[in-house]
Amino acid sequence: MKKVGITGQEGFVGKHLYNTLKLFPQEFEIVEFERAFFSDAEKLEAFVSDCDVIVHLAAMNRHDDPEVIYNTNISLVQNLISALESINSKPHVLFSSSSQEERDNLYGKSKKEGRNLLLDWANRNGGTFTGLIIPNVFGPFGKPNYNSFIATFCYKLTHGETPKIDNDGTVNLIYVGELVDEIIDQIRKSVSTEEYTVPYTSTNKVSEVLAKLENFKKLYFENGEIPELNNSFDLNLFNTFRCYFDIENHYPVKFIQHTDPRGAFVEVIRLGIGGQCSFSTTVPGITRGNHFHTRKIERFAVIKGKALIQLRKIGTDEVLDFYLDGTEPSYVDMPVWYTHNIKNIGEEDLYTIFWINEPYNPQDADTYFETV
């Protein structure tokens, strides 16, 4: 088992890496990190002494004064090196650099110089070092106006604002889950690599991305229809978009019932993609679920009985409660990285329709059990 510490574990990439490593408890143990360690030499030394691997993600990306960005990022690297050398610790250090290394800006300069400082540390002390050159990253829970233009677009489209394009350039992108897989692969290899360029997985014009997101808003956010998703980028972009809703106020979404003397007709889901549709009955007092997905799209539609659906974002304590009643059929869609369950809180059998975007595969289930 490798003991892995992540500087910046509460940041965008750091939190995804942290949560993903926890899916492999037999392989990795996480050494907890706090930002305050950088200003406390004793705590920073204790942290590095406990790590077999350190993934250095902590950095400043944006500030009104570029000099502050440069000085902050260099200082973080220098503090880390001081702690390593102070106790002669030689973990495998992975450094998150950027494709902006070669650009004429102080952020890119801070990344390139930080990588070289850590490389020099490894050469002087016989350490293992991996310098990761990372393209533009997007994914769920990124900060708008900070981590990615995609985060900004998603937030604006789901909060009544209109996104604007400042520069309609072509951008090389990688989904945060794909980046995390790359980082874990490098941890497992545990070999020195001065400069490893993480391959981007898609190339898109900014306007093309915005057009897709606007389509998601129209079809899904406003009408509940699952859009056509032609490739992994579309799926990853859609799962990113879904995480910017005000979930607590968006769900449950009531279906439109068409009634006549024969009874009622309800359209449960309209699809631009395939998947698997299931039906369940649940006796009173029983709870189903208590698991989460990292890529799947899932809908719970209650058509008879009374249900409590609960969601909790992984790594947080807040539980969201949604009460559904078959007399007014409605649904809740499950965001990625939210553990969820459904409980029959009525006095009769609960009837639920489940739709998920891919058939169940026990060899690649993407289903991780965790109590809400």
Domain ranges of the chain: 2-138+171-202, 247-369
What is the rounded radius of gyration, in angstroms, for the C-alpha atoms of the chain?
A: 23
| Total Cβ atoms within 10 A of residue 249 | 6
Walk along the chain (372 residues) and give the pLDDT tens digit of each residue: 999 999 999 999 999 999 999 999 999 999 999 999 999 999 999 999 999 999 999 999 888 899 999 999 999 999 999 999 999 999 999 999 998 888 889 999 999 999 999 999 999 999 999 999 999 999 999 999 988 999 999 999 999 999 999 999 999 999 999 999 999 999 999 999 999 999 999 999 999 999 999 999 999 999 999 999 999 999 999 999 999 999 999 999 999 888 878 878 888 998 988 899 999 999 999 999 999 999 999 999 999 999 999 999 999 999 999 999 999 999 999 999 999 999 999 999 999 999 999 988 999 999 999 999
Phi/psi-derived region of residue 100, left when phi > 0, alpha when psi is between -120 and 50, beta in every other case: alpha
User: How confident is the model at residue 264, as a pLDDT?
Assistant: 81
CATH topology of domain 247-369: Jelly Rolls (2.60.120)
| Beta carbons of 146 and 61 less than 8 angstroms apart | yes
Nearest to 328 by CA among 273, 279, 259, 262: 259
Angle at the Cα of 299 from the Cα atoms of 295 and 303, rounded to 5 degrees: 165
User: How confident is the model at residue 263, as a pLDDT?
Assistant: 79
Question: Would you call 177 helix, strand, or coil by DSSP?
Answer: helix
User: How confident is the model at residue 266, as a pLDDT?
Assistant: 87
For residue 252, cis peptide bond before it (omega within 30 degrees of 0) = yes
The H or E element that residue 250 is part of is helix 247-250
Task: Write the CATH number of the domain with boundaries 2-138+171-202.
Answer: 3.40.50.720
The Cα–Cα gap between 151 and 144 comes to: 5
User: How confident is the model at residue 270, as a pLDDT?
Assistant: 87
Amino acid symbol at 13? V
User: How confident is the model at residue 103, as a pLDDT?
Assistant: 84
Helix axes 66-86, 106-125, angle to 10 degrees: 10
**What is the DSSP secondary-structure string of 159-222?**
TT-----S---EEEEEEHHHHHHHHHHHHHH---EEEEEPPPSEEEEHHHHHHHHHHHIIIIIT
| Beta carbons of 305 and 299 less than 8 angstroms apart | no
